[in-house]
Structure 1
Amino acid sequence: MDKKTKEKLQDPKIQKINSSKLMWKFRFYGFFKNLRFFEPFLLIMLLDPSIGLSLFEIGLLISIREIFTYTFEIPSGVIADKFGKKRELLICFVFYIISFVFYFFGLDPDIAVSNLIFLVSASIFFGLGESFRSGTHKAMELLWMENEDLMDYKTHVYGSTRAYSLLGSALSAILAVFLKIFIPANKWIFLITIIPYILDFILIASYPSYMNDHQPITGGYWNQLKIGFKGVGPTLKSKKIRKAIFSSAIYDAIYKTLKDYIQPIMVIFISIFLIQIGKDETDTETANIYISIILGGIYCIFYLISSLSSQNAFKLKKLFHHAKTSMDILFDLFALILLLEALFMWIEIPMVIIFLYLLIYVFENFRRPLAVDYMGEVIPKEERATILSIESQIKSISVLIFAPLFGFIADFSIPLLFLILAICMVIINHVFLTGRPRLEEK
């Protein structure tokens, strides 16, 4: 352990954070939330011939999900500010559980009605869950930090909670391999995923009552909703805030849309691998076991290393002296990785492709705590939940557009998609999003 790390750990406020009972609840909230056992296999389950969707059609399902996330983003932020964040977070987990039930029926190839009816319903309720969750828990963490005079430690708090979220994802990936191999059908993964979400519901219910603080409602809900929307206008006139939320939202939207493309990429290369070692590529059972083990292992490694990067995000902030500068650099690096991914997919080197995809996960988990830290600095306290929901709303609009568009191009060529996207990202970042905060006007 180096000297700086020792000094950091000896800081009384760091010790206070690490020993806080509520801080441990924040950590386990993310841990349980990320026990999504279906995640390493969702795309390949939907691409399975028994379901028969294309990447474009999967993109359309993602767009439906994001439409509902988008539609309810600002209202959910206003509800959190006006009725209580804790109450809203409990509702969001009810929506998630309902969506998992619909996914269960949607992945049944023998169901009497169209699978799409259930998959669309699952996407709708998942989108509602996302809209009610986004920004709300971060606002609750900010409230706790303000009450405990810990606002200078935002990056440490967010990095720590995100690290536990990613540990949950890593454990989820390992368990998912066993579930995928031994359960009778893919659909059962979604019912099993309900268990940790019930545990998270109970955990949130145990949060202190001040987490449900809200402003008194006068003049009716719809009047308050209009006031909430109007109050956002002056805040968004700030150049700092605009750049912060658009930089965060666009980067995260691209990551969110692309992060699981490793699944169809690996299915292609695993099929090539089976042929090379003399296995029958038509042996579905053998192929599924290889795919489950390799994808589960990849996701586990991704999340474990991402967890370490999330905990050390504060070091990147110190290196570049400001969170926004770090955000801008990581945006360009993401574009560079996509360019390299396209190159190595064309020349078919799977290990390099996996390594580069690992960097995509690492950079996202460096960047997200920095983005939340910076937005926490520039957004007024009384508007945080609403503005953070707007950031998530912009992300939803972006994913809504990106998912079918990326899917359409990817059905022709995934390397071509990565090449086009790399060029566009560099242009967007340098024309619209970069800029040192000290040079910006309010």
Structure 2
Amino acid sequence: MPIMSMVNHFGAYSFLKNQRYFQPFLTLIYLEKGLTYFQIGLLTSFHKTCLSLMEMPSGSIADLYGRTSSLEFAWLSYICSFSILAVSDSYPLLFVALFFVAIGDAMRTGTHKAIIFTWIRHQKLSAQKAEIYGNIRSTGKLGAALSVVIGSVLVFWSGKYSHIFWMTIPAYILGLLNFMCYPSYLNKSVIISLKSDVSRQSGRIREFVGHFIECMNISWKNVRIRTLLMESVVFDLMISLGRMYLQPILKETALILPIFTSFDETRRGSLLIGLVYFLLHLGSAFASSQTKFVS
């Protein structure tokens, strides 16, 4: 496959995965469903805890069963979660939905980056690694900025939040189709490619468990890795909780501004939230595009 064609596929992945039109309004969606901030905090903590517990075995699964296959499974998990979030106001079912999100996040995180770097090594483009990856990330951030605009328009048009989950699903279906265009060698990890045909055909469960235990032992015994993992979990949770309060603050700010007073509070809030998140993602896209100058 031509080099630029594959880079475009990677860019399409990065663009489509950020088409989460609900993301800037997620806390407001929970509030619309009748949840309290305490309940929202429990949901967020549950998601982060599940994600942390599943990231290690998900990496082993990707190593042993194929990276592209892992991403396809992640996308199916996302689609299941979006469907539940779109139709359900039941608090227990929201935990189920976030469990599927955690599965998707765990299977996705780091997996596609490994695919990109494998392709770069295969194409002997290591000297351009920072530029290629920076451009791919920039495409993703531009996609995120566009998703904010689309999400804001959808909320402004309808005056409601929850239905935008349905609008997210087509983008993730396109993402699944995009994975089918990846070369087959990108679905094979280094571990699998070095093993004999016999080991591929038998003992896969024992192989997975052994590989997982080995990775856990290495991570736990290494003080630096263990400390880094703990700090990462705490930092990520703090960022998520801070983001949780940003959306209602922006909405309340929009209500006290003497503009767009002819619209209801949901529509007025969507305008300011959309503007702030759009500028944040646009700045992030610019920073990613400049990676080649600082590498």
TM-score by length of 2: 0.86
Q: Distance in 2 between matches of 1:64 and 1:143?
A: 33
TM superposition shift of 1:243 = 6.8
What is the percent sequence identity of the aligned residues? 29
Deviations for 1:331-352, whole angstroms, at most 9, x for unmatched residues? xxxxxxxxxxxxxxxxxxxxxx
Equivalent residue number for residue 309 of structure 1: 287
Equivalent residue number for residue 248 of structure 2: 264
Structure 2 unaligned segments of length 5 or more: list them: none
2:14 aligned with 1:36, yes or no?
Answer: no
Equivalent residue number for residue 89 of structure 1: 71
1:74/1:229 contact within 8 Å kept:
no
Out of 240-249 and 217-226, give the one that drifted further.
240-249
Deviations for 1:30-50, whole angstroms, at most 9, x for unmatched residues? 1011010111111112123xx
Q: Distance in 2 between matches of 1:144 and 1:250?
A: 33
Aligned residues: 285
TM superposition shift of 1:248 = 5.7
Q: Distance in 2 between matches of 1:68 and 1:240?
A: 22
Q: Distance in 1 between matches of 2:139 and 2:222?
A: 33
1:103/1:119 contact within 8 Å kept:
yes
1:106/1:117 contact within 8 Å kept:
no
2:256 aligned with 1:293, yes or no?
Answer: no
1:174/1:296 contact within 8 Å kept:
yes
Deviations for 1:269-299, whole angstroms, at most 9, x for unmatched residues? 223325xx795xxx8x522221111111111
Equivalent residue number for residue 428 of structure 1: none
Equivalent residue number for residue 34 of structure 2: 52
Q: Distance in 2 between matches of 1:144 and 1:251?
A: 31
Higher gyration radius (CA): 1
Tell me: CA distance 1:196–1:161, structure 2 relative to 1, closer, same or farther (3 Å): same
2:214 aligned with 1:230, yes or no?
Answer: yes
2:251/2:270 contact within 8 Å kept:
no
Tell me: CA distance 1:235–1:128, structure 2 relative to 1, closer, same or farther (3 Å): closer
Q: Distance in 1 between matches of 2:241 and 2:125?
A: 34
2:159/2:267 contact within 8 Å kept:
no
2:10/2:136 contact within 8 Å kept:
yes
| Residue from 157, 173, 180 that aligns with 1:205 | 180
Tell me: CA distance 1:64–1:278, structure 2 relative to 1, closer, same or farther (3 Å): closer
**CA RMSD for the aligned pairs?**
2.7
Tell me: CA distance 1:250–1:278, structure 2 relative to 1, closer, same or farther (3 Å): closer
Equivalent residue number for residue 371 of structure 1: none
Alignment of 1:10-409 (within 5 A): 20-48=4-32, 51-107=33-89, 115-183=90-158, 185-214=160-189, 215=192, 216=195, 217=200, 218-231=202-215, 233-234=217-218, 251-274=235-258, 286-316=264-294
Q: Distance in 2 between matches of 1:149 and 1:249?
A: 35
Tell me: CA distance 1:255–1:52, structure 2 relative to 1, closer, same or farther (3 Å): same
Structure 1 unaligned segments of length 5 or more: list them: 1-16, 108-114, 318-442
Ranked by relative contact order (alpha carbons within 8 Å, sequence separation 6 or more), the top structure is 2
1:40/1:260 contact within 8 Å kept:
no
TM superposition shift of 1:160 = 1.5
Equivalent residue number for residue 416 of structure 1: none
